[in-house]
């Protein structure tokens, strides 16, 4: 069973998202919208926030809760195919359980995130695992920080990565 992100975790993730700029903030794996609500409450303009969710049931719920947002029913592996090509992606906020996915699927998602995120863009990813950042991303992203959210059940760790200029993901 997958549980929604707790409010302390959602607030902490949203606090790292860039409020300024015109580029998109893309949320992956929005589920019930806990992080989505915190992104909006933190000042992310609805015109900048694009929510990507694979589950049709969750997409219906999200569209009902957030009619002002672009809610896309899509697989994160195919991000480039569903996002507007004329808009820069400044930040990806991911609630996807990357470490629980098989390696092939995880690598496809990481490659898709790399492809759409502009150079210098920010990736925010949480996990319940205490493994090091390189368990997520090896090439093309640099870990710029991590923080623990002890008041979440279970406690979580938020990683922040920058997409490196000129890098390639293998």
Average pLDDT over residues 43-50: 98
Q: Give 1's pLDDT tier (boundaries 50, 70, 90).
A: very low
Task: Return the minimum-mean-pLDDT range out of 32-36, 106-110, 130-134, 164-168.
Answer: 130-134
Average pLDDT over residues 18-23: 93
- The architecture that CATH gives domain 7-163 is 3-Layer(aba) Sandwich (3.40)
Question: Which of 36-40, 81-85, 99-103, 138-142 has the highest mean predicted lDDT (pLDDT)?
Answer: 36-40
Label residues 77-116 b or e (16+ Cβ within 10 Å = b): bebeebbeeeeebbbbbbbbebeeeeeeebbbbbbbbbeb
Segments making up each domain of the chain, as ranges: 7-163
DSSP secondary structure of 104-126: HHHHHHHHHHHHHEEEEEEEEEE
Instruction: Give me 86's structure tokens.
Output: 């004329």
Enter the pTM of the model: 0.91
Average pLDDT over residues 145-166: 86
Mean pLDDT rounded to a whole number for the chain: 90
């Amino acid at each position: 069973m997958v549980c929604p992100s707790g409010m302390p975790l959602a607030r902490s993730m949203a606090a790292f998202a860039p409020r300024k700029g015109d580029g998109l903030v893309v949320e992956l794996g929005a589920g019930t919208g806990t992080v989505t609500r915190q992104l909006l409450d933190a000042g992310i303009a609805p015109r900048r926030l694009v929510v990507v969710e694979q589950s049709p049931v969750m997409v219906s719920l999200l569209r009902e809760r957030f009619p002002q947002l672009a809610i896309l029913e899509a697989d994160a592996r195919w991000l480039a195919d569903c996002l507007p090509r004329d808009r820069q992606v400044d930040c990806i906020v991911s609630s996807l359980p990357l470490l629980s996915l098989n390696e092939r699927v995880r690598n496809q998602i990481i490659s898709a995130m790399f492809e759409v995120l502009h150079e210098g863009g920010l990736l925010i990813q949480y996990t319940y695992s205490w493994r090091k950042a390189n368990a997520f991303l090896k090439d093309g992203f640099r870990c710029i920080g991590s923080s623990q959210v002890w008041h979440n059940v279970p406690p979580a760790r938020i990683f922040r990565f920058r997409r490196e200029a000129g890098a390639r993901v293998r």
